[in-house]
Structure formats: structure tokens, C-alpha cells
Amino acid sequence: MTQATVPIQTAAGPLEAEGASAKDEARAAARAFAQALAESDEFQAFERATDGLRQDETAQRAIQAYQTKQQSLQVSLMLGAVNAEDQAELERLRQAFLSHPTVAAYLQAQENLTAICQAAADLLSQHIGLSFTAACGPGCC
């Protein structure tokens, strides 16, 4: 994976406009960041992979079969009381959906997008002097 950069400055120039409030500047910076992220190769690849996965009926059935089995074993899994036969079946179903090319492409695209978002969060953290990832909570980056 290549290191990507996400510009934060708008094409119109610096965000510090004469008379603009800090809130307006923050909104403009957020919009510029969102636009740059949406135009990034990583985001575009993720969008294509998501569409491909949605349209792949075979992969969708494999995912559904795994999720159904996992849900049926949820209590046993939490208690660590899954028998060997059910555990083997669950693993077989997991491998079946992970082996689909569209699933693999989706997971790789997701990993690449997560990496660029994490890099942006790290950069933001450096500039504000606060751990952005810790401040926004789990599942944020």
C-alpha cells in the first residue's frame, strides 16, 4: 500500500478568510477534507468493492450462511461451549465466504481506506495536540 496524502486546504486558498469565524473555518476544512477523501483512490476503490460485493449473490449467500450459523451459536460462543462439530462448521462457513474474490477485494479496500483515515486522524491529533482517535471513541477510525 502506498502512503496517500489528503490535502486539507481548499482550491480557493487558505481557510482563514477575512472575517470568517473559527466555526466557519472548521466547517470549510471538514468539507474540504470530506471532498478530498471522497476523491481519493482508496475511497473510490472501497466504493467499487462495496458495489461489487452487494451485487455478488453467491458471496451474499455465503456471508448469510455464516452469519446465520454464528447467530444460532451466539450463546454457546459467548460461554465457550461450542461443540467441535459446530465449531468446524462455523469455520468452514467462514472460510467459504472469505474465499470469494469480491469479499477479499472488499476487505482489502476496507483495510486501505481505514489506513488512510487512521493517517488523517494521526495528523489531526498532531495538529490539535489531542488524540483524535481516543476522543471520538471506538469504531471511529
Q: Is residue 11 part of a domain?
A: no
List the single range of 7-21, 61-75, 123-137 with lowest mean pLDDT: 7-21
Q: Is residue 14 part of a domain?
A: no
Q: Is residue 63 part of a domain?
A: yes
| pLDDT confidence bin for 130, thresholds 50/70/90 | confident
Q: Is residue 88 part of a domain?
A: yes
Question: Do 51 and 82 share a domain, yes or no?
Answer: no
Q: Total domain count for the chain? A: 2
Comparing CA positions, the residue from 40, 12, 20, 17 lying closest to residue 109 is 40
Q: Range of 131's domain?
A: 19-56+101-141
| pLDDT confidence bin for 29, thresholds 50/70/90 | confident
Stretch 22-41: mean pLDDT, rounded? 91
Per-residue confidence (pLDDT) for residue 4, from 0 to 100: 47
Query: What's this model's pTM, rounded to 2 decimal places?
Result: 0.71
pLDDT one-digit tens code per residue, 74-123 = 998 889 898 999 999 999 999 999 999 999 999 999 999 999 999 988 88
Question: Do 52 and 74 share a domain, yes or no?
Answer: no
CA distance linking residue 136 with residue 121, whole number of Å: 10
Question: Do 62 and 46 share a domain, yes or no?
Answer: no
Q: Is residue 8 part of a domain?
A: no
Per-residue confidence (pLDDT) for residue 108, from 0 to 100: 98
Question: Do 113 and 52 share a domain, yes or no?
Answer: yes
The yes-or-no verdict on residue 25 having pLDDT over 60 is yes
Comparing CA positions, the residue from 140, 141, 121 lying closest to residue 33 is 121
Question: Do 91 and 63 share a domain, yes or no?
Answer: yes
Stretch 50-60: mean pLDDT, rounded? 97
DSSP label at residue 80: T
Those residues with Cβ within 8 angstroms of residue 125's Cβ, 6 or more apart along the chain or in another chain: 131, 132, 133
Strand partners, 10: 13
